[in-house]
Structure 1
């Protein structure tokens, strides 16, 4: 059951204007950056990654300028230095698919294969070592997640996974899928649990973005050595659940 936040932001003229300006920026900047990344196809991966990073920096700046939306991070010291890990994150919004790349880097993400077909942006994304899965074929998707996930981790990239599988509205609950925990169990790489409330300011499937401060909490690394999928998932889900309650209490 979804619990509606009583302090939901108001859809006023300023919210519509800011969201419109931000949308215009995204529409015009994406093809430019997409072409820049594609033109760097024959250069090292680090170069393409840096180009994408610059775009995301400006995107977050424009989000603040146009919509008054920023974020605060707690627990960044928990991210291991120079070690890859599986980031298991709450999924409420499109915000985290962009911003988390700047918070924990370098990383790649598990995403829908269809996203790579989007002109310019999707084409550029395809050069950044994503783990693109076809959800219509669950068996093949899991195999790709495990094979490519381990490969990316061994290359030194963190792997961002949304274990809920889809965006879930604030206050709603969806059981974690096993894929991320299975990757952690099989690879032996640790899990970084991450909670946030981005959906309260950038709701799923919404054009409007509202002013405020998104709270991001990063938990202590969860060791996966000699642990099974169920144990890893339960430990991760419990930490994220408790962190979400703290975020909610801090906002009330």
Structure 2
């Protein structure tokens, strides 16, 4: 039964995603608002398919801030949260690795959505551009979603934060909301996805202006709050 659920999910979600991704540049031609709305349709498809087909549901713990934009620093265990957090957080701008943003056509559409490209080997000029992009999104009232560990990790793993988090935190001067999650339990990197509940735990807001090591320690502890 689990295999059949996975097979049906692949057919429905990825079968629907291919034409949506191919058409996304056309939506991007109508501007950022149109691209954000279009991305919302893709997020809806993903959410429906995970709930109705895979039997994966979401539980939210803690307070999701409303009002002024913030920097969300989230654990990253599966593709699941990249889509689900976009729904929970109201289509935030997303910090994305340069390799993904460089994908032909799709990368251009992603930039129209408002992704913020991070390239850890970039020049000082590229880093300044990243900061300007982030400030522009904040100026439009959009929060920013960042995965400070840099890549997906297995449940239980607690790697140190990448240096990019400290740079954004110190330069943007906005509160940080850490997000712990346990998606990797039902959505492993390898193997079949299983029915279950994914918990998103929003930690206490971390104010701007803290020393780097203190801010990193608070974020690291909070995003790993569900790790055993």
Secondary structure of 1:126's counterpart equals helix
- Distance (Å, rounded) in 2 between the aligned partners of 1:154 and 1:142: 18
Q: Which of 24, 28, 45 is equivalent to 2:15?
A: 28
- Distance (Å, rounded) in 2 between the aligned partners of 1:120 and 1:18: 31
2:202 corresponds in structure 1 to 218
1:244 aligns with 2:208: no
Q: Is residue 93–residue 202 contact of structure 1 (8 Å, CA) maintained in 2? A: yes
1:208 is displaced (CA, Å) by 2.1
TM (norm. structure 1) is: 0.81
Aligned-residue RMSD, C-alpha:
2.3
1:234 corresponds in structure 2 to 217
1:87 corresponds in structure 2 to 72
From the superposition, tell whether residues 210 and 121 of structure 1 become closer, same or farther in structure 2 (CA, over 3 Å).
farther
Q: Is residue 25–residue 106 contact of structure 2 (8 Å, CA) maintained in 1? A: no
Aligned residues: 228
After superposition, what is the alpha-carbon deviation per residue over 1:134-184, rounded to whole angstroms, capped at 9, x for unaligned? 344476664444332222222221111111111111011201123223212
Question: How do 1:1-252 residues align onto structure 2 when only pairs under 5 Å count?
Answer: 14-75=1-62, 77-79=63-65, 81-118=66-103, 122-137=107-122, 142-204=127-189, 206=190, 208-224=192-208, 226-241=209-224, 243-245=225-227
From the superposition, tell whether residues 233 and 140 of structure 1 become closer, same or farther in structure 2 (CA, over 3 Å).
farther
- Of the structure 1 ranges 172-181 and 22-31, higher mean CA displacement relative to structure 2 is found in 22-31
After superposition, what is the alpha-carbon deviation per residue over 1:18-65, rounded to whole angstroms, capped at 9, x for unaligned? 112212223321233234432233424222211211221121111122
- Distance (Å, rounded) in 1 between the aligned partners of 2:131 and 2:214: 18
Unaligned runs of at least 5 residues, structure 1: 1-13
From the superposition, tell whether residues 188 and 135 of structure 1 become closer, same or farther in structure 2 (CA, over 3 Å).
closer
Secondary structure of 1:156's counterpart equals coil
- Of the structure 1 ranges 100-109 and 31-40, higher mean CA displacement relative to structure 2 is found in 31-40
TM (norm. structure 2) is: 0.88
After superposition, what is the alpha-carbon deviation per residue over 1:181-205, rounded to whole angstroms, capped at 9, x for unaligned? 321222211101100000111112x
